[in-house]
Amino acid sequence: DTEVTQTPKHLVMGMTNKKSLKCEQHMGHRAMYWYKQKAKKPPELMFVYSYEKLSINESVPSRFSPECPNSSLLNLHLHALQPEDSALYLCASSQPGGGGPVAGELFFGEGSRLTVL
Amino acid sequence: GENVEQHPSTLSVQEGDSAVIKCTYSDSASNYFPWYKQELGKGPQLIIDIRSNVGEKKDQRIAVTLNKTAKHFSLHITETQPEDSAVYFCAASIWRGYKLSFGAGTTVTVRA
Q: What pLDDT, on the 0 to 100 scale, is given for residue A60?
A: 96
**Residues linked to residue A77 through DSSP beta bridges, in sequence order:** A20, A65
Q: What pLDDT, on the 0 to 100 scale, is given for residue B54?
A: 82
Give per-residue pLDDT as tens, B37-64. Answer: 999 989 999 999 998 888 999 999 999 9
Instruction: Closest CB to B34: pick one of A2, A6, A104.
Output: A104
* Interchain contact, A106 vs B34, CB within 8 Å: yes
Does residue A100 sit at the B interface (CB-CB below 8 Å)?
A: yes
Mutate to test the interface with B, among A46, A107, A108, A113 (most CBs of B within 10 A): A108
- The fraction of chain B above a pLDDT of 90, given in percent, is 83
Does residue A97 sit at the B interface (CB-CB below 8 Å)?
A: yes
Give per-residue pLDDT as tens, B58-90. Answer: 999 999 999 999 999 999 999 999 999 999 999
Residues of chain A with pLDDT under 50: 98-101
Instruction: Closest CB to B96: pick one of A2, A45, A102.
Output: A102
Contact in structure between A91 and A74 (CB atoms under 8 Å): yes
Q: What pLDDT, on the 0 to 100 scale, is given for residue B110?
A: 97
> What is the rounded distance in angstroms from the CA atom of residue A97 to the CA atom of residue B95?
10
Q: How far is A85 from chain B (nearest CA, A)?
A: 18
Instruction: Closest CB to A42: pick one of B46, B49, B102.
Output: B102
Radius of gyration of chain B (CA): 13
Chain A, nearest residue to B35 by Cα: A105
> What is the rounded distance in angstroms from the CA atom of residue B100 to the CA atom of residue A90?
14
Three-point CA angle A67, A71, A77, nearest 5°: 15
Q: What pLDDT, on the 0 to 100 scale, is given for residue B2?
A: 87
Report whether pLDDT(B99) > 90.
no
